[in-house]
């Protein structure tokens, strides 16, 4: 019984010894901390928590070094060239050179020195590297219904890492291939673990969602001290629903042709979509030919498409135009509203575009004065056109100077003009008719544009002057005697008042003469 008990205890001790992290001196990986430093007698060197001191020298090139920590000497020894002094597998001092500096005449040491190199134990440092072919995945694409990631534990420290354990937390993600827990007996410095490959099913969400994968690695160094590393991989998952709008529009046309437009809406997602509000928009340069509504509401199953809003339009003028987008509004079951827009087609319209502007020098003139009429004719289009015009004069107007006819080719982007002078035979209101400008291009496209009608008021010079001298009393106002008096000169004296004054003057003179007598 005693022998059996001793055997069991021995086996247990052996297992504990084998599983306990024991560092052997020959397994320690040293890292140079100080490549070279020269110490004189009594000098010291601080390396981390340790202090190295040149305690003494001998004439035969022997140096006495010590290693201290927290004020206490932990190791000391006399050393020669190429000797080392170590403490607790944490620090090593290597003697590169000893110079006792003995004077050949006196035989005494003058300034002895030692050159040392200091090493500290290398510490492993692990990190987790995570790779994926992309950072965003769209479950609506068959090629992205699953996604993969690759993981490695790298040791970029100065010693090997032992008993490394990796654990991966993926939350509610569905793992289709691979495992989430891995262990490695050791990872040497500058090396990485084998690549871990994981494959997941892409989850489905109504909205774009970021998911996190968390990685936790733990291990030990050669002395059993713990090392660890963490990392996180964030993957963006696109929403499971989708709508595409494709707007078709005539790309090239002539000004006298009809444009056509249509819209196709398609459910590109994985779920049925109800109550999608769709609206189309028309460019200001076009007028819709048919009376059609450009708003509707539709529902679509996955993969279904509908053609909407087929209509024709009439262009107003030539040029290059960007057609407005169509829009669709969809509200998810979670209550979030989304607006989807179509493409913006380009339309090029060719043809002339003739405009005319008619102006006069004055719209109110005297009978003997002239009035000048000016017409500016411009081709704002991108094709040349032949333009003709013949002015019509109102009755009572006489051409004084200029030409009433115009016939010329107006190049694209150019302008021309016509001017003439009129006078009138009598007073009154005269309407100068609108100008009728006719054009035709090389393709036979023709048309007519009109200017505005202008009214001119002609007055007689003498009548105008007499009217300026008249009072402000209107023709339908009755004039009373009081009014006449009010309008007379303010210096006028009332009748009979002169006789009274004369008699008063005679009486005064008579009284004065009698007093003298």
Tens-place pLDDT, residues 454-508: 999 999 876 543 444 443 333 332 333 333 333 333 333 334 434 344 444 445 5
Which CATH architecture fits 245-349? Sandwich (2.60)
What is each CA distance from 268 to 138, 146, 244, 273, 296, in whole angstroms?
A: 11, 18, 7, 10, 19
Confidence of residue 19 (pLDDT cuts 50, 70, 90): very low
Who wins on pLDDT, 473 or 229?
229
What mean pLDDT comes out for the span 23-47?
87
Average pLDDT, the chain: 86
Q: Looking at residue 475, what is its pLDDT?
A: 35
pLDDT, residue 94, reads: 96
| pLDDT number for residue 484 | 35
Q: What is the CATH number of domain 354-461?
A: 2.60.40.10
**What are the C-alpha distances in Å from 478 to residues 181, 403, 484?**
118, 53, 11
CA 104 – CA 217 distance, rounded (Å): 63
Q: Does the global pTM surpass 0.75?
A: no
The pLDDT confidence band at residue 292, using thresholds 50, 70 and 90, is confident
Quick one: CATH architecture of 126-237? Sandwich (2.60)
Topology match between the domains 27-121 and 354-461: no
In CATH, what is the architecture of 27-121? Sandwich (2.60)
SS (H, E, C) 475-501: CCCCCCHHHHHHHCCCCCCCCCHHHHH
| pLDDT of the residue at 507 | 52
Mean pLDDT (whole number) for 264-278? 96
Compare 492 and 239 and report the one with higher pLDDT: 239
Alpha-carbon distance of 205 to 238, in angstroms, equals: 7
What local confidence, expressed as pLDDT, does residue 508 receive? Answer: 52
Lowest mean pLDDT among 25-29, 79-83, 348-352, 361-365: 25-29
In tens, the pLDDT along 405-455 reads 999 999 999 999 999 999 999 999 999 999 999 999 999 999 999 999 999
Q: Whole-angstrom Cα distance, residue 223 to residue 331?
A: 61
Mean pLDDT over residues 250-258, rounded?
96
Q: Tokens 């993600």, residue?
A: 173
Task: Report the candidate in 87, 84, 54 with the shortest Cα–Cα distance to residue 69.
Answer: 87
Residue position matching structure tokens 């005319």: 356
More confident residue, 76 or 472: 76
Q: Where are the domains of the chain?
A: 27-121, 126-237, 245-349, 354-461
Considering only residues 100 and 508, tell me which one the structure prediction assigns the higher pLDDT.
100
Q: pLDDT tens digits, residue range 123-161?
A: 999 999 999 999 999 999 999 999 999 999 999 999 999
Select from 140, 444, 432, 171 the least CA-distant residue to 303: 140
Task: Say what the pLDDT of residue 105 is.
Answer: 87
DSSP string, 81-143: TT-EEEETTTEEEEEEEEE--B-TTT--BSS-EEEEEEEEE----EEEEEEES-SEE-TTSGG
């Amino acid at each position: 019984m005693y022998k059996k008990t001793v055997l069991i205890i021995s086996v247990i001790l052996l297992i504990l010894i084998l599983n306990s992290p024991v560092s052997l001196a020959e397994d320690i990986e040293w890292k140079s901390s100080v490549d070279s430093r020269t110490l004189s007698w009594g000098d010291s060197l601080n390396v981390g928590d340790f202090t190295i001191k040149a305690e003494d020298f001998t004439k035969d090139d022997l140096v006495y070094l010590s290693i201290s920590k927290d004020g206490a000497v932990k190791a000391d020894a006399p050393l020669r060239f190429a000797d080392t002094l170590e403490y607790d597998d944490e620090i090593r001092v290597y003697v590169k050179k000893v110079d006792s500096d003995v004077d050949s005449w006196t035989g005494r040491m003058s300034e002895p020195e030692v050159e040392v190199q200091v090493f500290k134990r290398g510490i492993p440092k692990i990190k987790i590297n995570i790779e994926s072919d992309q950072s965003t995945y769209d479950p609506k694409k068959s090629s992205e219904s699953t996604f993969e990631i690759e993981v490695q534990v790298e040791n970029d420290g100065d010693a090997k890492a032992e008993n490394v354990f990796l654990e991966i937390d993926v939350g509610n993600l569905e793992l289709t291939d691979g495992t989430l827990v891995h262990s490695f007996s050791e990872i040497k410095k500058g090396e990485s673990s084998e690549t871990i490959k994981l494959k997941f099913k892409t989850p489905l969400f109504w909205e774009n969602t970021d998911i996190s994968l968390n990685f936790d690695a733990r291990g030990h160094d050669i002395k059993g001290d713990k090392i660890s590393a963490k990392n996180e991989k964030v993957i963006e998952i696109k929403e499971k629903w989708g709508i595409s709008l494709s707007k078709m529009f005539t790309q090239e046309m002539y000004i006298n042709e009809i444009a056509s437009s249509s819209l196709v809406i398609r459910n590109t997602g994985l779920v049925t979509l109800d109550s999608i509000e769709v609206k189309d928009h028309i460019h200001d340069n076009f007028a819709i030919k048919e009376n059609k509504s450009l708003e509707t509401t539709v529902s679509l199953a996955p993969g279904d498409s509908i053609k909407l809003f087929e209509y024709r339009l009439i262009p107003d003028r030539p040029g290059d135009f960007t057609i407005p987008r169509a829009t669709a509004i969809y509200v998810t079951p979670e209550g979030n509203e989304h607006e989807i827009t179509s493409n913006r087609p380009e339309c090029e319209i060719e043809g002339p575009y003739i405009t005319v502007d008619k102006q006069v020098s004055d719209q109110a003139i005297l009978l003997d004065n002239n009035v000048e009429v000016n017409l500016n004719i411009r081709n704002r289009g991108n094709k040349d056109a032949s333009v003709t015009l013949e002015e019509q004069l109102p009755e009572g107007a006489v051409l004084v100077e200029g030409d009433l006819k115009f016939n010329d080719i107006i190049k694209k982007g150019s302008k021309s003009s016509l001017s003439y002078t009129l006078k009138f035979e009598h007073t009154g209101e005269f309407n100068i008719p609108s100008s009728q400008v006719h054009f035709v291009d090389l393709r036979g496209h023709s048309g007519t544009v009109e200017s505005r009608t202008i009214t001119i008021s002609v007055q007689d010079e003498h009548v105008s002057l007499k009217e300026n001298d008249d009072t402000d009393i209107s023709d339908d106002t009755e004039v009373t005697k009081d009014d006449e008096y009010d309008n007379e000169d303010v210096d006028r004296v009332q009748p009979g008042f002169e006789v009274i004054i004369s008699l008063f003057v005679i009486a005064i003179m008579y009284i004065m003469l009698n007093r003298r007598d």
